């Protein structure tokens, strides 16, 4: 499928246009939750636990209450009286809103102070006296089910720290294949606990109007409608009386999918006081208590022939979920889409097991710029393929080539149950190799090794699964996944497009307008795109997991086509011919063979309100709720070249080539931006970022002093390229792209470092690969003393 480009003036798909709306950041117009100012607004501040595991003996709020300007202090006991002490998580566990009985992780929410300004609220929080009795702390997930481990969740019937066991694939066929495999390679890899750290932390302004009984919540939300429904179901407020508004939220990356205790407390406080209540986290609160990502401890084994042809994959994983299972993923997938871990390779057999456990750490397991655990899966298989290549002394490029699923095999059913829609893995690999000059660099590496210099090349040929999702399989907290678009064409031919998704900086304002331009010929500059207000937008599941293009993007095209169908009827009326005599091109209908007898979409729009054919409703608008038949499976090859400084252990990324294939592209400039951002995040995860805990459960990495964000100084130069393999089932052949670089890149970085050290006997290194870690390996191997 090839997208026919509209003229650049119209700005349809395939044009790198930039729209005015996107310049608001440069103009400095504040439109964030933190910018919301309402008359009478008051401020909430959390009291948090300094301990990771402790019994709550008492909470004394008397001193704090006496501070002038303090309006209310809410404790877990107060919430318990209203039946709100616990809230459901997105994965059907429950989570304390404010601690009752005991605390389960450092920085857990204990009490909520409301005051006239944020400084008084913070001072009063300091005056809340909490008496704790420390309990033994469980930090290591491997010890969670060991005899004698402290049982963390006393509220559960099951007296165990084990949350779930999940398996998929054919166990006995996989065992059999392993028995007959002449080669076995294995790797134990940790996808470490990290955090999306969005620019704006989480927060809200809850505004309950006692006169109208309407609750408006300005919320850092990636899924405003789902959050509205959950507020209605849990809080008992009629859904029509709740309005969730999610403005610019400074990035989400999965962090803004769950509901957090701060949101609930602000709503409760506003209901109680009848005033707007604002709660915004600090940076450290965001890192320490809201949704973490990853924390998967994985072992992969590959059974293969001597020539490297893979026969079977066996994976065992321990998932650390922290104190509550607050993973944001569909009900059917306790380990998200981790079972795409056969990757781009034609494995005849596979079997995967995942066990989730509780520990004394912050809850989460959110999809940080990935489709529910796909980053972990891709990292594992791409590392395992390199381990196999190294064991067999086959070039990692060659090993991948021998095992790729071939273009003619699509649609391809994996042994773990997924049906990949389309792909040409070798095409992307070849392009990346060519851009890089692979053969030359391998020669250079050989030369450098002779001189004792350390240089490595790492490859990742990843497959992604985005576009959640087909409603028969995917839901969020039970709400089926689909997404929506509503387009209204005004009499003057301008349009408004309202969506169920919610941009967090991905440029939806531009790209959805381009889809309308492509489908209807209305210039993109004449289309306003609105998202994030539940009072106006059609119901949708929001934006995460690169689902916007595969779902709402598709809905936009389908809604536009519905409008075009109606426009045809009006055109036939205006041109006094039958619909069968009409043809469509670039924004107008014309009589076949007589191009001058034509009506533009603007003329038709005017007629829709002024000159309607008998029997047809006035107006020109349509809505579509799109339920995709399948996920889309974008892919790509990333290649990283590193040089290692032996003296300091510092890894320098010399080159990074990223070839992505997301099918047909709506806006190449935006896609390029998505790739740059995601690669930078992948780079940070590979080399810098870890949320760690000491043996007492104290968070290490709970501020930007320890949890490092790459600046322009550290960030490598990205070289991007693309191939185009359209999705056969998407209305205009597009696949999602936003998360591909974060999903595909960590393995390329790590593979490059391990490749640089492979001749020293290094088989694997866990992320983050800090200079200290590398230097210690060099010391251990006798390279430095
Ligand atoms: O759900 P999210 O917006 O994060 O991810 P996406 O669907 O991958 O889209 C990210 C941005 O890239 C959006 O503005 C898309 O419209 C744009 N995009 C594109 O121009 N062409 C594609 N084939 C895929 C995405």
Q: How far is CA 522 from CA 11, 129, 299, 554, 597, in A?
A: 9, 62, 53, 18, 19
**Burial tier of 210 (Cβ tally within 10 Å: 0-12, 13-18, 19+):** exposed
Of ligand 1's listed atoms, the one at least distance from the Cα of 737 is: 8
Rounded to 5°, angle at Cα 180 from 177 and 181 = 80
Helices (H) and strands (E) in the chain, counts: 18, 36
Q: What is the pLDDT of residue 27?
A: 43
For the annotated catalytic residues, the residue numbers are 222, 369-370, 739
Q: What is the pLDDT of residue 328?
A: 83
Provide the token pair at 633: 């499976």
Q: Is the CB of 223 under 6 A from ligand 1?
A: no
Cα separation, 633 vs 640, in Å, equals 23
Q: What is the pLDDT of residue 28?
A: 45
In angstroms, how far is the first alpha carbon of the chain from the final one? 59
Of ligand 1's listed atoms, the one at least distance from the Cα of 634 is: 23
Q: What is the pLDDT of residue 6?
A: 77
Q: Is the CB of 691 under 6 A from ligand 1?
A: no
Alpha-carbon Rg of the chain, whole angstroms? 27
Quickly count: other Cβ atoms within 10 Å of residue 322's Cβ. Answer: 25
Instruction: Give the residues across from 351 on adjacent strands.
Output: 169, 314
Cα separation, 523 vs 216, in Å, equals 34
Nearest Cα neighbor of 375 from 703, 767, 771 is 767
Q: What is the pLDDT of residue 2?
A: 62
Distance from residue 61's CA to the centre of ligand 1 (Å): 49
Length of the chain: 785
Q: What is the pLDDT of residue 586?
A: 86
Q: What is the pLDDT of residue 395?
A: 98
Q: What is the pLDDT of residue 20?
A: 62
Distance from residue 665's CA to the centre of ligand 1 (Å): 8
What is the greatest pairwise CA distance in the chain? 90
Q: Is the CB of 549 under 6 A from ligand 1?
A: yes
Cα separation, 195 vs 281, in Å, equals 15
Which of 671, 677, 720, 739 best tests ligand 1's pocket when mutated (most atoms within 8 Å of CB)? 671
DSSP 8-state code for residue 409 = G
Q: Is the CB of 251 under 6 A from ligand 1?
A: no
Distance from residue 671's CA to the centre of ligand 1 (Å): 7
Cα separation, 22 vs 670, in Å, equals 11
pTM listed for this prediction: 0.96
Q: What is the pLDDT of residue 329?
A: 84
Instruction: Give the residues across from 207 on adjacent strands.
Output: 216
**Burial tier of 593 (Cβ tally within 10 Å: 0-12, 13-18, 19+):** exposed
The shares of helix, strand and coil residues in the chain, as percent rounded to the nearest 5, are 30, 25, 40
Nearest Cα neighbor of 317 from 248, 259, 373 is 373
Q: For residue 107, how many C-alpha atoms fall within 13 Å in the half-sphere facing its CB?
A: 23
Three-state secondary structure along 126-164? HHCEEEEEECCCCCCHHHCCCCCCCCCCCCCCCCCCEEE
Share of the chain above pLDDT 70, in %: 98
3-state class of 427 per DSSP? helix
Q: Which residues of the chain fall below pLDDT 50?
A: 22-28
Q: Is the CB of 12 under 6 A from ligand 1?
A: no
Distance from residue 34's CA to the centre of ligand 1 (Å): 26
Q: What is the pLDDT of residue 26?
A: 42
Distance from residue 225's CA to the centre of ligand 1 (Å): 20
Q: Give CA torsion, residues 14, 20, 25, 29, to 10 deg.
A: -150
């Amino acid at each position: 499928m090839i997208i026919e480009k509209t003229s650049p003036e119209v700005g349809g798909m395939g044009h790198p246009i930039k729209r005015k709306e996107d310049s608001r950041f440069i103009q400095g117009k504040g439109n964030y939750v933190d910018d919301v100012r309402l008359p009478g607004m008051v401020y909430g501040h959390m009291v948090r636990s300094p301990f990771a595991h402790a019994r709550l003996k008492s909470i004394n709020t008397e001193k704090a209450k006496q501070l002038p300007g303090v309006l209310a202090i809410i404790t877990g006991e107060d919430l318990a009286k209203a039946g709100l002490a616990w809230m459901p998580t997105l994965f059907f566990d429950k989570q304390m809103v404010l601690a009752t009985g005991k605390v389960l992780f450092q920085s857990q929410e204990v009490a909520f102070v409301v005051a006239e300004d944020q400084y008084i609220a913070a001072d009063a929080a300091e005056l809340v006296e909490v008496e704790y009795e420390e309990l033994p702390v469980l930090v290591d997930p491997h010890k969670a089910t060991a005899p004698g481990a402290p049982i963390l969740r006393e509220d559960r019937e099951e007296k165990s720290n084990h949350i779930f066991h999940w398996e998929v694939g054919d166990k006995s066929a996989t065992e059999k294949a392993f028995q007959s495999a002449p080669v076995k390679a294995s790797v134990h890899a940790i996808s470490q606990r990290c955090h999306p750290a969005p620019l704006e932390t989480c927060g809200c302004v809850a505004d309950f109007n006692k006169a109208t009984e309407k609750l408006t919540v300005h919320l850092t939300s990636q899924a405003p409608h789902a959050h509205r429904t959950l507020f209605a179901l849990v809080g008992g407020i009629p859904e029509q009386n709740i309005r969730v508004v999610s403005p610019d939220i400074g990035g989400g990356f999965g962090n803004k999918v769950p509901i957090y205790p701060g949101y609930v407390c602000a709503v409760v406080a506003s209901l109680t006081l009848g005033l707007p209540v604002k709660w915004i986290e600090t940076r450290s609160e965001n890192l320490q208590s809201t949704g973490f990502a990853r924390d998967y401890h994985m072992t992969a084994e590959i059974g293969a022939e001597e020539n490297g042809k893979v026969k079977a994959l066996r994976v065992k994983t321990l998932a650390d979920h922290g104190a509550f299972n607050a993973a944001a993923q569909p009900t059917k997938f306790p380990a998200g889409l981790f079972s795409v871990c056969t990757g781009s390779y034609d494995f005849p057999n596979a079997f995967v097991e995942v066990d989730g456990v509780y520990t004394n750490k912050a809850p989460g397991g959110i999809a940080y710029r990935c489709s529910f655990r796909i980053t972990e899966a891709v990292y594992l298989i791409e590392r395992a393929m390199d381990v196999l290549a190294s064991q067999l002394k086959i070039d990692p490029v060659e090993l991948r080539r021998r095992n790729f699923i071939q273009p003619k095999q699509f649609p391809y059913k994996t042994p773990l149950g997924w049906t990949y829609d389309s792909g040409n893995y070798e095409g992307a690999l070849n392009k990346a190799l060519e851009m890089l000059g692979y053969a030359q660099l391998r020669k250079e590496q050989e030369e450098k090794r002779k001189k004792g210099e350390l240089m490595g090349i790492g490859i990742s040929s990843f497959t992604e699964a985005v576009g959640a999702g087909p409603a028969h399989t995917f839901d969020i907290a039970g709400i089926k996944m689909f997404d929506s678009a509503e387009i209204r064409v005004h009499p003057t031919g301008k349009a408004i497009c309202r969506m169920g998704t919610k941009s967090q900086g991905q440029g939806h304002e531009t790209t959805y307008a381009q889809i309308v331009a492509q489908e209807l010929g209305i210039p993109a500059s004449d289309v306003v795109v609105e998202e994030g207000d539940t009072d106006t937008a059609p119901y949708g599941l929001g934006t995460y997991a690169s689902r916007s293009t595969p779902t709402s993007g598709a809905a936009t095209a389908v809604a536009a086509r519905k409008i075009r169908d109606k426009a045809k009827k009006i055109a036939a009326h205006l041109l006094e011919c039958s619909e069968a005599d009409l043809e469509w091109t670039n924004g107008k209908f014309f009589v076949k063979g007589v191009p001058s007898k034509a009506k533009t979409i603007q003329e038709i729009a005017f007629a829709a309100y002024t000159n309607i054919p008998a029997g047809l409703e006035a107006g020109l608008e349509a809505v579509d709720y799109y339920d995709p038949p399948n996920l889309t499976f974008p892919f790509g090859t990333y290649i990283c070249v590193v040089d290692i400084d032996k003296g300091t252990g510092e890894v320098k990324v010399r080159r990074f080539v990223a070839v992505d294939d997301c099918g047909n592209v709506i806006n190449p400039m935006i896609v390029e931006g998505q790739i740059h951002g995601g690669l930078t995040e992948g780079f940070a995860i590979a080399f810098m970022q870890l949320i760690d805990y000491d043996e007492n459960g104290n968070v290490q990495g709970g501020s930007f002093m320890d949890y490092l964000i790459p600046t322009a100084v550290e960030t490598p130069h990205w070289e991007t390229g693309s191939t185009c393999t359209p999705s056969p089932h998407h209305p205009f052949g597009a696949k999602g792209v936003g998360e591909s670089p974060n999903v595909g890149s960590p393995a390329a970085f790590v593979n490059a470092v391990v490749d640089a050290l492979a001749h020293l006997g290094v088989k694997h290194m866990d992320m983050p690969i800090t200079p200290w870690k590398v230097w210690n390996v060099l010391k251990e191997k006798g390279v430095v003393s």
